[in-house]
Amino acid sequence: MSATKALLDEFEAEAATTRRVLERVPADKLAWKPHDKSMSLGKLALHVAMSPAFITDWAVQDTVTMSGGNPPDPTTTKEILDAHDTGAAKTKSNISSIGDANMGKMWAIQGPDGATMMSMPKANLLRTIAFNHTYHHRGQLSVYLRLLNVPVPSIYGPSADENPWAK
């Protein structure tokens, strides 16, 4: 199996799981934070929804210049789900366009001053930043849900609220 196909298959499965988590985000709690230093529930959920497409947009390019800025705070769960669905399609398109031939090609991100902040092969960017980074924040989001007494969906197996293997 090609590296591109393996990444696409993984993303397809993980995107479905991510959507199940995002569907549970209560619209009336989007401003809630577990701690003053934490992102709000809405901002974290939107970050999880948007990150794969945003990072794979970087990977299509060879060099990106950091521009800063933050996404807006979402106002509805539907907005978050729409961002996820649009982003999932974009992510699959981006990974396909990179293809096996460019997975080993170097990628770099520069600061506004032009200095290289980080560089790595595009395959590593996809794996570590686009995928693992998203899984990390999805895990944080599941903790937020638990703290809000929202039933947590099964992610990699049963949760205390959902057991897909129970009959």
Write out pLDDT tens, residues 21-51: 999 999 999 999 999 999 999 999 999 999 9
Q: How far apart are the first and last CA of the chain?
A: 34
pLDDT digits 0-9 by tens, 94-113? 999 999 999 999 999 999 99
CA atoms in the 13 A half-sphere facing the CB of 72: 6
Residue from 5, 4, 85, 10 nearest 48 by CA? 85
Domain 3-147 superfamily per CATH = dinb family like domain (1.20.120.450)
pLDDT digits 0-9 by tens, 63-95? 999 887 787 899 999 999 999 999 999 999 999
Residue with tokens 């649009």: 86
Residue boundaries of the structural domains of the chain: 3-147
Please say if the pLDDT value at position 167 is more than 80.
no
C-alpha angle 142/145/146, rounded to 5°? 90
Instruction: Look at phi and psi of residue 72 and say left if phi exceeds 0, alpha if psi is from -120 to 50, else beta.
Output: beta
